[in-house]
Amino acid sequence: MASTASRPGRVAKLPPRERILDAAEELFQSEGILRVGVQAIAERAETTKMAIYRHFETKDALVAEWLRILAADYQAAFDRVEAAHPDRPREQILGLARFIAEGLPTLSHRGCPFINSLAELPERSHPARQVIEQHKALQLRRLVAMCTGAGLPDPEQAAAEITFVLEGAQVSTQNGSVDRAGERLMRIVEAIVDRHRAETSRVAAAG
Amino acid sequence: MASTASRPGRVAKLPPRERILDAAEELFQSEGILRVGVQAIAERAETTKMAIYRHFETKDALVAEWLRILAADYQAAFDRVEAAHPDRPREQILGLARFIAEGLPTLSHRGCPFINSLAELPERSHPARQVIEQHKALQLRRLVAMCTGAGLPDPEQAAAEITFVLEGAQVSTQNGSVDRAGERLMRIVEAIVDRHRAETSRVAAAG
DNA sequence: GCTCTTCGATACCGATCGGTATCGCATGGC
DNA sequence: GCCATGCGATACCGATCGGTATCGAAGAGC
């Protein structure tokens, strides 16, 4: 037989903690948090419940860690969009909207993990809630910064409007009521930015 | 002692089925569907589990019936808004937005029941999902009709935009990221309608 | 080569879940 | 007055939940 050192299974296996997080990611996203048991996560991760509790204090801690990673991935995508359009805040905003719009067909009828998790975890003390609220707060701050950079006269209002349509597009995709949500999303975000820019010139002309 | 006929308890009690639905409404809204057991509903309704299963085939059927009633209430509110502004579609649209905006502080950090239920019940075959999707589809149709009545040149796009911001305002209120969501919601809905009206005159001028 | 940690496997815990069976009582229609 | 029905109470079912205890094999560092 071959050596056992470099051939842990049929393919190279990640360490247990990564496998657990990957399995949790897939199951939580497709079936929800509450409906997925720790045993099911262990099986998909090709490990055992005990291994999970060796790496995470409780199931709630695992949920929180999953959302933390997801939020970090999301912020990284945010970073890439910003970097792709340096010093052009309007393009950054539209790039962000495009990022969301392109993701809509993927999440299809199983919506945004943050929104869903918020629905599944009503207790304000749950560790996952803090992760979600911090993430949303950070996202809004970055959006406000972009709107400020774009010279919009009321960046808080503009950022709030964009936040509304981004989240609304995701839930409307989830319940399948609106078709061509991606295109519609892009159109309205452009319209929001342009309207606020028009406000700029109006304010400038008046001042 | 007084007659027992007209004095069923300390106060006049509704029939069990209504009490069950009331209890389910309160518990599902505040704690979510999956976290509330049938036993807990029975206790709050001052009855027993058996009584619940005499009126509803399964817990899922109770959930579906709850959402059916909720959707009917919602459509009734929709009717009242329409009736309050006969033949003035623009006022109807703004009235609807105001209805949602005024409800935001009430649902506070425990969002829209339809959005939450969608997150809690991922199985497409669940009876409650059909109720939700039908409700959302009907709401969108009515909104499209209002936009058509208002003479907007692209009523589907306008209705989709309004749907996005209505739903987005609710989830952003739930996660607490946006302050003054009600005012912001009203401002953007007005802006959407006015922008589409401006498109109207532009199209008319070009035609 | 030895030891210390990690991993996998299994069995188990108490609690709770959705759902059912049964029984006695009260009530309303006839 | 009688009887069918609705209701409340209790006990119970199998399944699953989150979480723990235990034990043996395997691997890495010194």
What is the full per-residue pLDDT of chain B (207 aa) written as tens digits? Answer: 333 333 333 445 788 899 999 999 999 999 999 999 999 999 999 999 999 999 999 999 999 999 999 999 999 999 999 999 999 999 999 999 999 999 999 987 899 999 999 999 999 999 999 999 999 999 999 999 999 999 999 999 999 999 999 999 999 999 999 999 999 999 999 999 999 999 877 767 775
Reduce the secondary structure of B81-119 to three states and give it as a string.
HHHHCCCCHHHHHHHHHHHHHHHHHHHCCCCCHHHHHHH
Question: Is B122 at the interface with chain A, CB within 8 A?
Answer: yes
How much is the pLDDT for A176?
93
* The pLDDT value given to residue B12: 52
pLDDT value at position A8? Answer: 38
Residue with tokens 């809509």: A104
Mean pLDDT of A73-90: 96
The span from the CA of A17 to the CA of A65, in Å, is 11
Chain A interface disruption, residue of B29, B31, B121, B172, most A CBs within 10 A: B172
Q: How far is CA B144 from CA A56, A171, B96, B170, in A?
A: 49, 18, 13, 20
Sign of CA dihedral B25, A31, A115, A194: negative
| Per-residue CA distances from A95 to A179, B18, B61 (Å) | 21, 50, 43
B136 in contact with chain A, both atoms CB, cutoff 8 A = yes
DSSP string, A57-70: SSHHHHHHHHHHHH
Contact yes or no for B118 and A171 at CB 8 A:
yes
8 Å CB contact between A120 and B119 = yes
CB B154 within 8 A of CB B177: no
Segment A24-71, tens digit of pLDDT: 999 999 999 999 999 999 999 999 999 999 999 999 999 999 999 999
Give the pTM.
Answer: 0.91
- In whole angstroms, D30 C1' to A5 CA is 20
- What is the rounded CA–CA span in Å between residue A26 and residue A32? 10
Model pLDDT for residues A142-173, shown as the tens digit of each residue: 999 999 999 999 999 999 999 999 999 999 99
C-beta of residue A100 within 8 angstroms of C-beta of residue A164: no
A194–chain B nearest CA distance, Å: 11
pLDDT, residue B73, reads 96
The CA distances from residue A70 to A76, A77, A113, A125, in Å, are 10, 11, 9, 20
d(CA A158, CA B186): 13
